């Protein structure tokens, strides 16, 4: 999410107002202030990655979360 904002800022021309970037930064700020989980309501495919200390490479992985799965799982206390 923040990487996308940074990429848009890098591609911004000097005469552009950056309105959409400011709106997204405000949304991110509100999510942080509210301490909300930004992935809590999202479903579908998620692509992520991790850095492997074994061979010093980045390894991608994908997770697919079905909407029906949310109704099957009871939240566990932390």
Q: What is the mean pLDDT of residues 6-10?
A: 82
Kindly tell me if the per-residue pLDDT of 31 is higher than 80: no
- Whether 28 and 1 have beta carbons less than 8 Å apart is answered as yes
The pLDDT assigned to 40 comes to 65
Task: Please check whether residue 39 lies inside any domain of the structure.
Answer: yes
Sign of CA dihedral 8, 10, 13, 18: positive
Residue 52 forms beta bridges with which residues? 57
- Taking only the tens place, the pLDDT of each residue in 38-77 is 666 667 777 778 888 899 888 888 887 776 665 666 666 6
Give the chain's domain count.
Answer: 1
Kindly tell me if the per-residue pLDDT of 29 is higher than 80: yes
* pTM strictly above 0.85: no
Task: Please check whether residue 78 lies inside any domain of the structure.
Answer: no
Task: Please check whether residue 77 lies inside any domain of the structure.
Answer: no
The pLDDT assigned to 33 comes to 80
Q: Of 42, 77, 34, 36, nearest to 63 (Cα)?
A: 42
Q: Of 10, 19, 48, 8, nearest to 27 (Cα)?
A: 19
């Amino acid at each position: 999410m923040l990487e996308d904002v940074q990429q848009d800022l890098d591609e911004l021309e000097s005469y552009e107002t950056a309105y959409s970037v400011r709106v997204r930064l405000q949304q991110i700020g509100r999510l942080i202030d509210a301490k909300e989980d930004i992935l809590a309501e999202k479903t579908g495919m998620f692509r992520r990655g991790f850095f492997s200390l074994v061979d010093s490479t980045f390894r991608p992985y994908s997770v697919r979360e079905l909407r029906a799965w949310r109704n099957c799982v009871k939240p566990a206390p932390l």
